[in-house]
Structure 1
Amino acid sequence: MNPISTGAVPEGAALDHVVINVLQRMDEAAACFAALGFQLTPRGHHSLGSINHLMMTPGAYLELVGLPETGPQRRDVLDSPFGLNGLVLRSADADATYARLAAAGVGASPPVAFSRPVTVNGRNQEARFRTVRSAEGLFPAGRLYHCEHLTPELVWRSGWFVHPNGFAGIEALTVESPEPEAEAGRLAAACGAPAEAGDEGWRIRLGVTTVAIVPGDRARMSNLSLLFTDLDALEGRARLLPGAVWTRLGPDAATLALPAFDLRFHCRAGS
C-alpha cells in the first residue's frame, strides 16, 4: 500500500516525549520508577497546575505527570485516563505548528504558554514552553500535542541522561484502535509524517521512534518499547519490586508489566 498522504511534510518530524499520567499518585509512581533504576529529575510544578518528573535521554524522554495535592488542578491532566496516554511532538515554532495543523484540517487549540521553576547549579530559573494541543476527542487513544521548548538547556542536561538501569531511549509506541487506518491518517496529519501500511497495521516514523497503529477492541496507547544498554540491571531491580512482572524473552529482550499503573513495556538491549 502507499503511504497515507499528509500534504506538505515538515522536516524533522520527531517525538519530543511520552507522558504517563499518574493523577494523584505521583509519590508512589516516582518511588516505583526510581526503584526500577530510572533517574528522575527533581519534581517540577507547572504554572498550569500539574506536577512532573522526567526520565531524560539525549533525544525523546519519558514524563510522569500528575496533580498537586493542593492548588490549581490542570484540567487536561485531570480529565485524561490513568497510565500511558500522552504523545508529544517536537515543535520549533508553536505558531507555525498551529498554522500547519489548521491548513491540514487537524483541529487544535491555539498555542498556550506555561513554565515551571528549575534549579540549576544553585540558581533558580524558569523552564518555559509553548504547546499546541490537538482538539479533544480527535485522538481517542490519548492526548496528542506539540511542544516548543523555549529553554531547552534547562530540560536536556547531560547529568540527567545517566540511569542506573541503562535506560537509553524510546524505540516505539503502540496505539490500538478499532479503526486503525483512520487513526493512522489522523496521526500522520498531526505528526507531519507519512503512515506506512504493513502486515500488522500502520507505522509512522518520528525520528528514531516508531508509532505503530494496530487493530484493537478500544482506542488506547497499549505498549511502550524502551531501549537499554543491557537488561541485567533492570531485571535485577524489577524482580525485587513488588507487583512488577518481568518476563525474559531472550538475551536482549524482555517485557515488564506494572499492573498498579496499567503499564506494559517491551524492553530491548541495544544502541
Structure 2
Amino acid sequence: MSLKFPLIDHVLVNVNDQLDEAARQYARLGFTLTPRGHHSLGSSNHLAIFENDYLELLGYEPQNAGRVAGVWGTQQGLAGLIFKTDDADALVAPLQARGVGLMSEAPQAFHRPVELTDGTLRDARFRTLHLDLATTPSGRIFFCQHLDPDLVWHAPWQQHANGVYAVKRVVIASQDPQAASAVLARVFETSELEPIEGGLRLRTGQASVEFLTLARARAIFGTEIELGPDGADRKVGLELQTRSLQDAARVLETNGVPFERQSDGILVPASQASGVALLLVE
C-alpha cells in the first residue's frame, strides 16, 4: 500500500477494564471473537476478523492497569483508526517531509502470542506508526504492519453469525469537519476530500472515512452519540457490511439486543456495543 491509496486495516474499540463485558456484548451481536490475546505492551484484546480488515476490542486485565490504564483514554468507544502498510519504517521519511507530526521517530514493535484453532502457538508481530495525538483530537490514527498476517486472518475466526465481513464506513463527528479531515488529506496526498452531506469523505478502497457534523452523524447513527470532552472530535460510528440483514436481525432478536430497522440497514445503538453505534448494511 502506498500513501496514495489508503486502506483500513482495523478499527479499535477502547473498553478499558471492561473486556469481559465487551466480549459478552459483541458475542450477543453475533460476532465470533478470537480468544483473549495479551500484547507485550500490557494491553489485552479480542478481535472480530473480517475478510480484509477487523474490529478490535482493546482493554487490559487488572494486573496490567498500572502499565496501560488511560493510554487509550478513559471514555469507552471507538478510539483507533488504523491503516494498512507493508513497511512502517518506509513511511517515516515521506510523512515527515510533508509536515505530518508523528508520535515517535520510528515505528513501535510489539507482539502477542496466538494459539490457532489447531493448537499451534506462535507470536504475532506488529510494527505501528502513530500520528501525533495533537493532530488527531478524535483519538489515535496510525499505520499497522503485520509481520504474521496469517495469525490474524485465520479462516475459522472469519465466520460470524451476523454475516458481517467488512468495515464499510468509519464516521468521525466534529464541529469543523474540514479542519478535522486536514491531517488525513496531508497524509494521503489528497488535497481535496469528497464533499458529502454534512461533511467530507476520504475513500479507502471499498470503504470510507467520513468527517461529519454531529447533527449529520446523529441522523445516521442516532441521538445517543456525542462529541468528545469539551466538544472535541470523536469517532462515533461504524457501518459494517453483512451478507444477510435477515440473519443479522435474527441473531439480535434471539439474543434480546435492541435495534432499529432502517430503510437500508439495521442500527445497533452505541449503548449495546461498548460505546460505538453500529449500522449493518448489505
TM-score between both structures, scaled by the size of structure 2: 0.85
Query: Conserved in 2, the CA contact under 8 Å of 1:17 and 1:61?
Result: yes
1:257 is matched with which residue: 259, 269, 274?
A: 269
Match of 1:233 in 2: 247
Q: Percent identity?
A: 35
Report the Cα distance in structure 1 between the residues aligned to 2:242 and 2:72, rounded to whole angstroms.
Answer: 31
Residue correspondence of structure 1 range 48-87 to structure 2 within 5 A: 48-71=41-64, 73-74=67-68, 77-79=71-73, 81-87=75-81
Displacement of 1:75 in angstroms is 5.7
1:100 is matched with which residue: 94, 102, 116?
A: 94
Task: Name segments (4+ residues, structure 1) moved above 4 Å.
Answer: 191-194
Displacement of 1:70 in angstroms is 0.6
Report the Cα distance in structure 2 between the residues aligned to 1:101 and 1:173, rounded to whole angstroms.
Answer: 23
Report the Cα distance in structure 2 between the residues aligned to 1:90 and 1:231, rounded to whole angstroms.
Answer: 28
Structure 1 SS opposite 2:187: helix
Displacement of 1:97 in angstroms is 1.4
Shift of the 37–213 alpha-carbon distance from structure 1 to 2, 3 Å rule, reads same
1:220 aligns to 2:214 (yes or no): no
Report the Cα distance in structure 2 between the residues aligned to 1:248 and 1:50, rounded to whole angstroms.
Answer: 35
1:247 aligned partner, one-letter code: E
Shift of the 14–111 alpha-carbon distance from structure 1 to 2, 3 Å rule, reads same
Shift of the 239–43 alpha-carbon distance from structure 1 to 2, 3 Å rule, reads same
Report the Cα distance in structure 1 between the residues aligned to 2:7 and 2:159, rounded to whole angstroms.
Answer: 22
1:177 aligned partner, one-letter code: S
1:183 aligned partner, one-letter code: A
Query: Conserved in 2, the CA contact under 8 Å of 1:86 and 1:144?
Result: yes
Residue correspondence of structure 1 range 162-201 to structure 2 within 5 A: 162-193=159-190, 195-201=193-199
Report the Cα distance in structure 1 between the residues aligned to 2:72 and 2:175, rounded to whole angstroms.
Answer: 25
Query: Conserved in 1, the CA contact under 8 Å of 2:72 and 2:79?
Result: no
1:206 aligned partner, one-letter code: T
What stretches of structure 1 of length at least 5 have no aligned partner?
Answer: 1-8
Residue correspondence of structure 1 range 2-151 to structure 2 within 5 A: 10-71=3-64, 73-74=67-68, 77-79=71-73, 81-108=75-102, 109=104, 110-120=106-116, 121-151=118-148
Structure in which a larger fraction of residues adopt helix: 2
Structure 2 SS opposite 1:141: coil
> CA RMSD for the aligned pairs?
1.9
2:172 aligned partner, one-letter code: V
Match of 2:203 in 1: 205
Residue correspondence of structure 1 range 147-166 to structure 2 within 5 A: 147-166=144-163
Query: Conserved in 2, the CA contact under 8 Å of 1:196 and 1:202?
Result: yes
Q: Deviations over 1:191-231 (max 9, x none)?
A: 45552223421110111111011123631112110111112
2:173 aligned partner, one-letter code: E
- Out of 191-200 and 121-130, give the one that drifted further: 191-200
Query: Conserved in 1, the CA contact under 8 Å of 2:16 and 2:69?
Result: no
TM-score between both structures, scaled by the size of structure 1: 0.89
Structure in which a larger fraction of residues adopt strand: 1
Displacement of 1:124 in angstroms is 1.5
Query: Conserved in 1, the CA contact under 8 Å of 2:9 and 2:83?
Result: yes
Report the Cα distance in structure 1 between the residues aligned to 2:188 and 2:74, rounded to whole angstroms.
Answer: 20
Report the Cα distance in structure 1 between the residues aligned to 2:189 and 2:146, rounded to whole angstroms.
Answer: 18
Q: Deviations over 1:118-153 (max 9, x none)?
A: 113322210000001111221111211110111111
What stretches of structure 2 of length at least 5 have no aligned partner?
Answer: 215-226
